[in-house]
Amino acid sequence: MAFTVVRNPKPRTDAERSAILADPGFGRYFTDHMVRIDWSAQGGWGDVLVGPYGPIQLDPATMALHYGQEIFEGLKAYRQPDGSVAAFRPDANARRFQRSAQRLAMA
């Protein structure tokens, strides 16, 4: 499996990054990059790409668009009195997601 990194040509400036880190604002800011891993029934998981953050391209024949084959599992996170963020039962969330994927014959 190949692991490729393509740097974002327009990353945040040091000043922008410092301002975000001074007041992160949970769920308000996103990274300069994202991960894409292809999968096929014949080959399983394929090459990994870490590339610039941007829109996700979908084929018009994507099953979620035509047959509603998708899974939504909202992982709950709560801000704590000390300012940290705690996830609520992420292990149970992962098990629900796996069961849903198995029922839908998804990877």
Domain ranges of the chain: 1-55, 58-107
Give pLDDT, residue 59. 84
Give the type of residue at 91: D
Does the predicted TM-score (pTM) go above 0.75? Answer: no
pLDDT digits (tens, 9 = 90+) for 38-93: 888 898 888 899 999 999 888 888 777 766 677 877 788 888 999 899 998 999 98
